[in-house]
Amino acid sequence: GIQVEQSPPDLILQEGANSTLRCNFSDSVNNLQWFHQNPWGQLINLFYIPSGTKQNGRLSATTVATERYSLLYISSSQTTDSGVYFCAVGGSGNTGKLIFGQGTTLQVKP
């Protein structure tokens, strides 16, 4: 099956700093989503982005499907951005199955 690798595993930032999280995947995908799991355990969907670029406020994401990677950009980080960021992918032929990476744990210090 598809392998999903996220980097870095851990990241510590000062409030106001920018960061880039990366997701590599081993095969072509027709579905890629980014999630944020907050410190209370809630999983929030950030982006559906199997290709191209999207922006939502201070967050943006880019997926280069031909090179099998996706990037999540966080600008002007805030303490509320802390938590775990997951990339999840679904391969061609699978209409619903999303495989999650191991996540990047982000801590934003005030």
Partner 1 sequence: DAGVIQSPRHEVTEMGQEVTLRCKPISGHDYLFWYRQTMMRGLELLIYFNNNVPIDDSGMPEDRFSAKMPNASFSTLKIQPSEPRDSAVYFCASSPFQGAGEKLFFGSGTQLSVL
28-57 residues near partner 1, rule: CB under 8 A: 30-31, 33, 35, 41-45, 48, 50
Residue 98 CB, nearest approach to partner 1 (Å) = 6
Query: How many helices (H) does the chain have, and how many strands (E)?
Result: 0, 11
CA 39 to chain centre: 16
Name which position in 88, 89, 106, 108 contacts partner 1 (CB under 8 A). 88
Is position 90 an interface residue for partner 1 (rule: CB under 8 A)?
A: yes
- Residues whose CB is less than 8 angstroms from the CB of residue 30 and which lie 6 or more positions away in sequence, other chains included: 50, 90, 91, 92, 94
Q: By rule CB under 8 A, what count of residues binds partner 1?
A: 23
* Among the listed residues 104, 56, 107, the one whose alpha carbon sits nearest the alpha carbon of residue 78: 107
Taking the least distance from each CB to partner 1, the nearer of 25 and 86 is 86
Cα–Cα distance for residue pair 20/91, rounded to 1 Å: 24
Q: Which positions touch partner 1 (CB under 8 A)?
A: 30-31, 33, 35, 41-45, 48, 50, 86, 88, 90, 95-103
